Amino acid sequence: MLEHFFSPASVAVVGASRQPGKVGHDVLKNMMSYGYQGQIYPINPAATEILGIKVYPNLTSIPGPVDLAVICVPAPSVIQVVEECAARKIDSIVVITAGFKEVGPEGARLERELKDAISRYGIRMIGPNCVGLIDTASGVNASFAAGMPLKGNIGFFSQSGALCVAILDWSLAEDIGFSKFVSLGNKTDISEIEMLLSLSEDPETKVILGYLEGINDGLAFMDVAREVSKKKPVILIKSGTTASGAKAASSHTGALAGSDAAFQAAFRQSGVIRAHSINDLFNYALAFAYQPLPKGPNIAIITNSGGPGIIAADACDRSNLILTSLNKETVDKLRKILPPIASFYNPVDIIGDAGAERYLNTLAIIQADDQVDAILVLLTPTAMVDVAETARAVAGLAKQSPKPVFASFLGKKRVEEGRKILLREGIPHYNYPEDAIAAMNSMYRQRRWVDEPARTHLCYLADRDKVWQIFDRVRDENRNQLIEAEAREVLQAYGFKVPVNVLARTSKEAVAAANSIGYPVVMKIVSPQIIHKSDVGGVILGVKTAKEVEKAFFEITSRARARAPQAPILGVMVQEMIMGGKEVILGLSKDPQFGTLIMFGLGGVYVEVLKDVSFRVVPLAREDAHEMVREIRSFPLLRGVRGEQPVDIEAVEETLLIMSQLAQDFPEIVEADVNPLVARPRGEGTIAVDARFTLSR
Ligand code: COA
């Protein structure tokens, strides 16, 4: 895929400037400087020779075929050049030129014209507004970046040109190699989706790294990322994580679902490893580029000092990794070779006077332990240790085993040489043990993702006709919000249990209703215009007697009249009071890039303050629901604390799957909260006490 971009037989540089320092000049120079074996055709009507090679006045005058055109002419001339490309049957172009949608409406218009032109001619394009692309295998450097990355196995794409340049610089300082390096610019044609597909098929690429600001088609991205990430790790950093989706939201879910929640969910569901900082991006890239995936979560730490060992162990505790218990034979073997004051358990402290040999012997013993899946070697530069020799010894032995080894030599000056040796020999080195653990954890996550069987998507029976009718009626009445009774009917149509309810138009009817339901009851105002009922004092809980019912009826209706005088009041709902169990919230909201999101959290009025919620993109697999419930910090409360009975967690998971089905069946639902959904003790299911639905207009 994208072969003409990465291994073209011939490349034209359109706008190859005579003047060093100009973009077109630097692109030409880069194309000529790194071993590219194909034909290079500089195009410039004002020149005959640049950098010692023949220049052509235009594309038409080039004698042979051209696979790739790199365009570096000012924005107003780009479309003309595209026309020339079409005439020459050039099907791949890189447009480095800036001045398109990033500069405002005029640029956006030009960009639309450019898009129309390339689709008319079937031309594929990277850019515009990009730094260009590099392929270290073919020697193509069609960019104006300063320098060429080393050959390696990381494929990188970025929406930010500046980040490309910075990462290239970092890679040169750290001796990290890349297979491909692509600045995507405005992604008018080729986007992250094609890059994922192309890098996934590229034999030179082992790890896929990317920087994104936005995604054009969220669901298509998820489909592709899900496939690709099973083959190769996909590590992405996503910026612009503001809660834009939160504005103007009328539900809890809407308020909590920022765009970042959607990205977080989408990345999780499609196996993308998310880097939260450039530092993480580098650290993870290093681990995946150099080491094989661990078989499991069990790690062993070798250290020559206590403190760093404990820091690493603490970090391990906060991750999904396990500080494993070493086999008895391992401990016995360690006892034989280590001084008596060493620690033979994990973290294995080989103490401050350890030299390279002790590191080597210890590592050999630990590598042989079948309880260990990955090893972290820590070193503090004591006076006794020869850092470089230790680095060489560790790296030499690590190479002979399929178990991944990571290192963190603490300090700066004295460990620098060791660090360089380790990196050169393919051992990921981290300045801090926590970074090493984070990288190891990301590798273990990838291991789980790769090994996980396909997720299960279930289909639930439901009375869809009923919901159609309700939604039709709501639309006919020119509303977009369901009243509580309608919301309840929708939920019932999808198999939710709801409390017994009776609508009372008079206090007398309310008393009769309460008598038949049984005390205590809950009473709530019913008005199509009052969505947040508690806010107008429209809810009274625990009404215990007929007298109280009468009083509550008058209080609720008069408060509603006072606080929402415009709202028509249909009566008061008398409802069975659900006692016991735990309140949770389920929600639906729309994300512009990924479609419908589902939210789960502990319910009640504090949900927006605590923000202890999890999100997934619809449709949900059974495993997604399982993870969502366990992802919230307060999950232990659902499992029961201090002798409490656990709630019916399976039933809660099922409600999430049913909500996902509802969202798929009725994409016109733009927001919904089921709050609270009372999760009863295990075996007793759930009851949806209250719900709100907003439909698209
Ligand atoms: N065909 C061929 N050559 C052409 C041409 C055409 N249609 N139009 C102009 N040229 C030649 C010019 O003669 C000039 O050569 P010279 O310097 O030898 O005279 C060369 O192309 C460059 O044209 P010029 O008008 O001098 O433009 P420039 O070099 O100042 O700027 C860009 C051109 C593309 C670099 C500039 O418009 C731009 O977009 N810069 C920003 C790039 C960027 O930042 N990208 C995003 C990174 S994240």
Peptide bond into 20 cis (omega under 30): no
- SS3 readout for 624-657: HHHHHHHHCCCHHHHHCCCCCCCECHHHHHHHHH
Nearest-atom number in ligand 1 for the CA of 23 is 35
Give the pLDDT of residue 498: 95
Architecture of the 582-695 domain: 2-Layer Sandwich (3.30)
Residue 347 Cα distances to 213, 309, 313, angstroms: 40, 6, 7
Model confidence band, residue 95 (pLDDT cutoffs 50, 70, 90): very high
5 C-alpha vs ligand 1 centroid, how far in Å? 21
Share of residues in the chain with pLDDT > 70 (%): 97
The end-to-end CA distance of the chain, in Å, is: 42
Q: Please list every protein residue whose CB sits less than 6 Å from any atom of ligand 1.
A: 14-15, 17-19, 22-24, 43-47, 72-75, 77, 81, 96-99, 129-131, 161
CATH of domain 3-205: 3.40.50.720
Nearest-atom number in ligand 1 for the CA of 185 is 48
- Above 50 in pLDDT, residue 190? yes
44 C-alpha vs ligand 1 centroid, how far in Å? 10
Examine domains 3-205 and 291-451 and report if their fold is the same: yes
Model confidence band, residue 253 (pLDDT cutoffs 50, 70, 90): low
- Written as six digits, the tokens of 304 are 């020559």
Model confidence band, residue 603 (pLDDT cutoffs 50, 70, 90): confident
Rounded mean pLDDT of 264-276?
A: 95
Peptide bond into 128 cis (omega under 30): yes
Beta strands in 241-347 (DSSP E): 273-275, 298-303, 322-323
Give the pLDDT of residue 246: 39
CA atoms within 13 Å, Cβ hemisphere of 152: 26
Higher pLDDT pick, 243 / 697: 697
CA 520 to chain CA centroid, nearest Å = 46
CA atoms of 115 and 36, how far apart (whole Å): 29
- Above 80 in pLDDT, residue 241? no
- Written as six digits, the tokens of 159 are 């929406």
| Dihedral sign (CA 274, 280, 284, 285) | positive
- Above 70 in pLDDT, residue 88? yes
Rounded mean pLDDT of 550-557?
A: 95
- Above 60 in pLDDT, residue 588? yes
Rounded mean pLDDT of 121-141?
A: 97
Range with the poorest average pLDDT among 212-226, 412-426, 477-491, 525-539: 525-539
The answer to whether 375 touches 302, Cβ cutoff 8 Å, is: yes
61 C-alpha vs ligand 1 centroid, how far in Å? 20
Q: Is 424 helix (H, G, I), strand (E, B) or coil?
A: helix
Strands 348-349 and 374-379: unpaired
- Above 70 in pLDDT, residue 256? no
Q: 3.90.1150.10, 3.40.190.10, 3.40.50.720, 3.30.1490.20: which CATH number matches 500-577?
A: 3.30.1490.20
Rounded mean pLDDT of 4-13?
A: 98
24 C-alpha vs ligand 1 centroid, how far in Å? 6
Rounded mean pLDDT of 617-645?
A: 93
Model confidence band, residue 240 (pLDDT cutoffs 50, 70, 90): low
- Above 90 in pLDDT, residue 529? no
- Written as six digits, the tokens of 676 are 């609270």
Q: Is 693 helix (H, G, I), strand (E, B) or coil?
A: strand
- Written as six digits, the tokens of 385 are 């240790």
Give the pLDDT of residue 244: 45
Rounded mean pLDDT of 676-697?
A: 94
Rounded mean pLDDT of 195-208?
A: 97
Model confidence band, residue 213 (pLDDT cutoffs 50, 70, 90): confident
Model confidence band, residue 250 (pLDDT cutoffs 50, 70, 90): very low
Give the pLDDT of residue 1: 74
Give the pLDDT of residue 247: 43
Share of residues in the chain with pLDDT > 90 (%): 85
Rounded mean pLDDT of 45-57?
A: 97
Nearest-atom number in ligand 1 for the CA of 77 is 7
Rounded mean pLDDT of 256-268?
A: 82
Give the pLDDT of residue 118: 98
- Above 60 in pLDDT, residue 43? yes
- Above 90 in pLDDT, residue 87? yes
The answer to whether 148 touches 141, Cβ cutoff 8 Å, is: yes
Alpha helices in 158-217 (DSSP H): 161-174, 192-201
Peptide bond into 433 cis (omega under 30): no
1 C-alpha vs ligand 1 centroid, how far in Å? 29
| Helix, strand, coil distribution of the chain in percent, nearest 5 | 40, 20, 35
| Dihedral sign (CA 363, 367, 369, 373) | positive
The protein residue whose alpha carbon is closest to atom 23 in ligand 1 is 73
Rounded mean pLDDT of 54-65?
A: 96
Give residues with Cβ within 8 angstroms of 328, minimum separation 6.
Answer: none
pLDDT tens-digit map of 13-40: 999 999 999 999 999 999 999 999 999 9
Nearest-atom number in ligand 1 for the CA of 162 is 48
25 C-alpha vs ligand 1 centroid, how far in Å? 9
Rounded mean pLDDT of 389-396?
A: 97
Give the pLDDT of residue 522: 95
Average pLDDT over the chain reads 93
- Above 90 in pLDDT, residue 127? yes
Per domain, the residue ranges of the chain are 3-205, 291-451, 500-577, 582-695
Q: Which CATH class, in words, describes the domain spanning 291-451?
A: alpha beta
The protein residue whose alpha carbon is closest to atom 37 in ligand 1 is 74
CA atoms of 309 and 673, how far apart (whole Å): 46
